[in-house]
Amino acid sequence: MKVIQTALPGAVVIEPQVFGDARGFFYESYNQAKYHAAGITSTFVQSNVSRSSKGVLRGLHYQWPNPQGKLVSVLEGEVYDVAVDIRRGSPTFGQWAGVMLSADNHRHFWIPEGFAHGFCVVSDHATFSYQCTALYDAKADAGVRWNDAAIGIDWPISAPQLSDKDLKAPLLTDVHAERLPLFAE
């Protein structure tokens, strides 16, 4: 597998080795030894799948306390996936990295604990897979507004379909400090 660094230390794109022939293809979506060698030593405790239509944007979500790291990929379709560093004291606080994930490119995106995460669907439909390092915790569930100008994400859509929760998410500057993860060197 190939590991591609992003502008955010710790947030990496994984390109698995794909073996294909006339029957289709095969690849390892996760191999603990290889991921550990790449510096991703987290244990996954919950697996989620969502399906969305073109124009849907989900995010920017995070949990604090009880943060979740996420290994995400697309099983069908294509999405633009984004990680935002929201760790107080981080040299890259408020910065983002984005990557196209699709069923065709087989890429995975590792979003470490302490980052907000979101994606928008650019194909007709997308089936999205999340491997999480912590269980969902409704009391810790939080978000940041998808179009926060201070973050400045260059989304490939301008008028997405949003949930009420995502529509009402605060700007990053309006999130109380105790509701943001702390950067640990």
For residue 35, indicate whether it is catalytic. no
CA 150 to chain centre: 19
Helices (H), strands (E): how many in the chain? 2, 13
CA torsion sign for 13, 84, 73, 102 is negative
The Cα 127–Cα 125 span in angstroms is 7
Q: How big is the CA angle at 153 (ends 152 and 157), to the nearest 5 degrees? A: 125
Type of residue numbered 69: G
Is the CB of residue 82 less than 8 Å from the CB of residue 91? no
Catalytic residue among 35, 62, 80, 130: 130
The neighbour count for residue 77, using CB atoms within 10 Å, is 21
For residue 80, indicate whether it is catalytic. no
End-to-end Cα separation, the chain, in angstroms: 27
Catalytic residue among 61, 106, 108, 117: 61
Residues tagged active-site: 61, 130
